[in-house]
Copies of this chain bind each other. A is one copy, B any other.
Amino acid sequence: MHSNLFESESNVRSYCRNFPVLLKTARNSVIQSSSGMEYIDFLAGAGSLNYGHNHPKLKSALLDYIGNDNITQSLDLYTEAKAAFIDTFVGTILAPRGLDYKLQFTGPTGTNAVEAALKLARLAKRRPTIGAFSNAFHGMSLGALAASGNADKRAGAGMPLGNVTFFPYDGYMGPNVDTVEYIERQLNDPSSGIAKPAAFIVETVQGEGGINIASFEWLRRLCAMARRNDILVIVDDIQAGCGRTGRFFSFEVAEIKPDIVCLSKSLGGYGLPLSLVLIAPELDIWKPGQHNGTFRGNNLGFVAATTALSFWSDETFKASLQQRVSQLHAWLESQVRRYGKERVRVRARGLIAGIEFHRDDIAAAVSAEAFERRVIVETCGARDQVLKFLPPLTIESDIFEEGLDRVAYAIDKIISKTGN
């Protein structure tokens, strides 16, 4: 360990505090440390490695591209790699779903995609306010942060964050309150003090917020209510998109059509920075250059992404993914059966899942214990109270089983310790 070396890093570093190991190589769902230890990866780059580490097809495409001196950085100039990406994205993803979005390439971070989406929504509707949801996470730059719920992260701004109104997410007010109805009542009450937002920005599954899953019905009702009130809907599909929930877009099954969609994380396929904002054509009112970013033309990202997108027309890939989903869900249910719903609540959609325990401190202890057993599995939620599962979509069945076994062992150990 170069521990003294890493002391040069700012105190802001975080994952490395919980998983203090020097990483060297990685293949699909397994990471090798510098000292030769092997870790099963249930973190997957916080959802940016849906296709695993260093997928051989993507690797091969990259080596080819670089080896032939193809252009690497091109701002928003036209390149062959970008053309191929657009062609594939439109052909493989949009067209089969009957979608006609315009594509905006932003600086290759999720927060930048969110910033672009929020700016465009405000511009289009000429209203400064955005509606966000309890427990939302959208990023760390000032605009995205203002729409994120976490109080510690908000405090990091060092100034008041405004022009965002927080509304209750599905289920936030308990099982008997329909939050869409409550929101609409506020919006239609001319004396509620609540400004009509330009847009709602919503995650179909709140990852950082604790694996809170909106029902398809709620999503449909939210969108219908938004339409009725001339409010746009932005789906932040940065973590839940790119197949994480079992389909390419997390909102497909809900049969909604957001006005704007933000993609990033696994879009670049190989863990390479790439972001994309999808815009309903009538909303594409940007002036040239009104939003930009130096690295919006990261061609290595285009190359890896193009290859990765092709998986979505591969039936084997999709069948395998469904098998992993079943494997995870079955295991989660086994945990509930074992400990009872009082101690273990599970929430899952596709390959994003969370376990919330009866005490807030258990998840972190399980994560630490699992790391001892060489599984990297993180926590999430406002109080880090949820154990969060984000395995690669491509994880090998047996390694998945092995990883889940180790986590089961860790849970067992920690719950035993807590004595109830």
- Cα of A208 to Cα of B377 in the assembled complex, Å: 43
Contacting residues, chain B, for A415 (C-beta < 8 A): none
User: Is residue A175 within 8 Å, beta carbon to beta carbon, of the partner chain?
Assistant: no
Collect the chain B residues with CB atoms within 8 Å of residue A300's CB: 272, 300
Across the interface, A78 reaches (CB within 8 A) one of B2, B152, B383, namely B2
Q: Indicate if the CB atoms of A190 and B158 lie closer than 8 Å.
A: no
Q: Is A407 engaged at the interface, CB distance under 8 Å to the other chain?
A: no
Interface assignment of A129: CB less than 8 Å from any CB of chain B: yes
Residues in B with CB closer than 8 Å to A186 are: 134
Which residues does chain B contribute within 8 Å of A34, judged by CB atoms?
80
Chain B residue contacts of A203, Cβ below 8 A = none
A45 at the interface (CB under 8 A from B): yes
- Which A residues between 152 and 198 are near B, CB-CB below 8 angstroms? 152-160, 162-164, 166, 173, 176-177, 182, 186, 189-195, 198
In the complex, which residues 344-393 of chain A have their Cβ closer than 8 Å to any Cβ of chain B?
Answer: 381-383
The verdict on A26 contacting chain B, using a C-beta distance below 8 Å, is yes
Q: Report whether B22 and A111 are in contact in the complex, using a CB–CB cutoff of 8 Å.
A: no
Q: Are B272 and A76 in contact (CB under 8 A)?
A: no
Output the nearest chain B residue to A122 by Cβ-Cβ distance.
B158
Which residues of chain A (106-136) have a CB below 8 Å from chain B? 107-112, 115-116, 118-124, 126, 128-129, 132-136
The proximity string for A residues 277-290 relative to B, scoring 1 for CB distances below 8 Å and 0 otherwise, is: 10100001111111
Look across to chain B and name the residue whose beta carbon is closest to the beta carbon of A2. B83
Q: Which residues of B contact A198 (CB under 8 A)?
A: 158
CB of A6 within 8 A of CB of B83, answer yes
**Interface: A250 (CB within 8 A):** no
Answer yes or no: A37 CB below 8 A from chain B CBs.
no
- Residue A408 lies at the interface, judged by CB distance under 8 Å to chain B: no
A236 smallest CB distance to B (angstroms): 13
Q: Is A24 an interface position by the 8 A CB rule? A: yes
A69 within 8 A of B: yes
Q: With contacts A86-B9, A148-B193, A194-B166 known, is A25 near B158, CB below 8 A?
A: no
Is A226 at the interface (CB under 8 A from chain B)?
A: no
| Binary B-proximity of A10-54 (CB < 8 A = 1, otherwise 0) | 111111110111111111000100100000000101111100011
Q: Is the CB of A166 within 8 A of B141?
A: no
A209 to B209, CA, bound (A): 35
Chain B residues with Cβ below 8 Å from A251 are none
Interface stretch of the complex, out of A59-67, A321-329, A397-405: A59-67
Q: Is A334 an interface residue (CB 8 A)?
A: no
Task: Decide: A68 near B25, CB < 8 A? Known: A77-B15, A111-B107, A135-B191.
Answer: yes
Say yes or no: is A264 at the interface (Cβ < 8 Å to chain B): yes
Give the residues from 249 to 276 in chain A that come closer than 8 angstroms, CB to CB, to chain B: 264-265, 270-273
CB contact between A63 and one of B49, B63, B129, B148 (< 8 Å): that residue:
B63
**A9–B141 Cα gap in the complex (Å)?**
24
Q: Which interface residue of A126, A143, A189, A209 has the most chain B CB atoms within 10 A?
A: A143
Cβ contacts A to B, 16 pairs, < 8 Å: A12-B288, A20-B78, A25-B69, A25-B71, A63-B66, A122-B157, A139-B293, A140-B293, A141-B142, A153-B290, A164-B193, A166-B193, A176-B176, A273-B273, A273-B295, A273-B298
The 7 closest A-B pairs by CB, nearest first: A73-B271, A122-B158, A142-B143, A191-B382, A166-B193, A141-B141, A14-B289
Interface residues of A (CB under 8 A from B): 1-2, 5-6, 8-17, 19-27, 31, 34, 43, 45-49, 53-54, 59, 62-63, 66-80, 83, 86-87, 90, 102-105, 107-112, 115-116, 118-124, 126, 128-129, 132-136, 139-144, 146-160, 162-164, 166, 173, 176-177, 182, 186, 189-195, 198, 209-210, 264-265, 270-273, 277, 279, 284-295, 297-298, 300, 381-383
